[in-house]
Amino acid sequence: MKFFVAGIFGFMGLMLSCSGAVFAAEGDVAKRVVLDSNKVSIDTDKAILVRTASTPRSIKVYMNIPFGRTYCSRYETRTVWGPDSSCGYYTECNLVCSNYCQVWNSHGGCVAWGQECYNRCHEYMNSCYHPQVYCAETGVAYKEKQASFKLTFKKASRLGPNEEETFEVIGSQKTVDGRDDVYTLRALDTKTRYLIKNSWFFGDWVSVKGNQ
């Protein structure tokens, strides 16, 4: 189970003249996605989420996130000392003995013991200098995977027909070779101050709570 919490506050007036510059800068790297249904699909790992008066309280957001896997990009051969099949084999035996009763009395007790022994043998590889192939350099190959999180708005500000609030979301792989995905959400242009929390509980959740 993973648990990741991050608190972020964001507040900007909708009528600020600098808001247009913010969108121009973000527009180069992230697309605007209007939250107008209970399910939203985004074909990238970064987007500008647009909340309007018709945005539902809870939305399932799907994103395409690149997941990295480590692979060996270059192999080399070196000479090492140690056991290997190319060195041949030798056999080592140990004498194993066990006792057994030869004569029992009328009361069920043993009055004469005997012993039987046998050789227990194992085959081992000899040690010698031999070539060994090893990974001299690694790389990371990326493949897109669809992942999702649930976005909820609590005590969000009331918006008029032509008003909107914007948030930036970034989805990423938690660690290379890992299977977990994490999300970062921050407020860009909002009417009120929001507390944003990321958590895991039967799936990824991002909660946006207004300070009203």
Q: Domain-by-domain residue ranges, the chain?
A: 8-68+144-210, 72-135
Give the SS3 label for residue 22.
helix
The answer to whether 128 and 81 have CB atoms below 8 angstroms apart is yes
- Beta strands per DSSP E along 8-109: 8-10, 31-34, 39-42, 46-51, 58-83, 89-104
Q: Which two tokens stand for residue 128?
A: 């010698």
The model carries a pTM of: 0.64
Whole-number Å distance between alpha carbons of 35 and 18: 23
The answer to whether 188 and 12 have CB atoms below 8 angstroms apart is yes
Q: Which two tokens stand for residue 7?
A: 């608190």
In the chain, the N- to C-terminal Cα span, in Å, equals 33
Q: What mean pLDDT is reported for the chain?
A: 83
Burial of 61 (0-12, 13-18, 19+ CB in 10 A): buried
Q: For 75-85, how does the pLDDT look when each residue is reduced to its tens digit (9 = 90+)? A: 999 999 999 99
Give me the numbers of helices (H) and strands (E) for the chain, helices first please.
1, 12
| pLDDT at residue 6 tops 70 | no
Q: For 34-65, how does the pLDDT look when each residue is reduced to its tens digit (9 = 90+)? A: 999 999 999 999 999 999 999 999 999 999 99
